[in-house]
Amino acid sequence: AQKVTQAQTEISVVEKEDVTLDCVYETRDTTYYLFWYKQPPSGELVFLIRRNSFDEQNEISGRYSWNFQKSTSSFNFTITASQVVDSAVYFCALRRYGGATNKLIFGTGTLLAVQP
C-alpha cells in the first residue's frame, strides 16, 4: 500500500525564518515519483516540484529546497527566509512509476502561517 504522512499539521513562523516541512512516504515500489503542491488561501493547487525516486540529488529553486532521502523514505521541503506570501497549505504526494495507475496519493497537508 502507498501512504504519505505529513506529521506537522500546522507550523507558524515569523517572516525571514527558515522552515522545513516534513514528508514521509511508504511504498513497496522501487521506482516512484514524489511531488509537492502548494494550496494558498484562494484554494487552487499549485505544482512546486516532481522528483523521481532514482534521482536522489537535492534541488534548490530560489528560496525553496528539497531534501530527498530514499534511505529514510523522506522528501522534506525547506523554505529559506520565509515570507508572508508563503502562507499556505503544502501537500506532499506520491505516485507510482509506470504501471496502470497515475493517481496521486496525497498527504494530509501542513498549514504554514508566516507572520509579519
Q: Could you give the CA distance from residue 81 to residue 13 in angstroms, rounded to a whole number?
A: 10
Minimum CB separation from another protein for residue 114, in Å? 20
Q: Which residues bind another protein (CB under 8 A)?
A: 33, 35, 37, 42-47, 50, 91, 93, 97-98, 100-109
Closer to another protein at the Cβ: 18 or 52? 52
List CB contacts of 103: < 8 A, sequence separation 6 or more: 95
Q: Could you give the CA distance from residue 108 to residue 116 in angstroms, rounded to a whole number?
A: 26
Closer to another protein at the Cβ: 19 or 93? 93
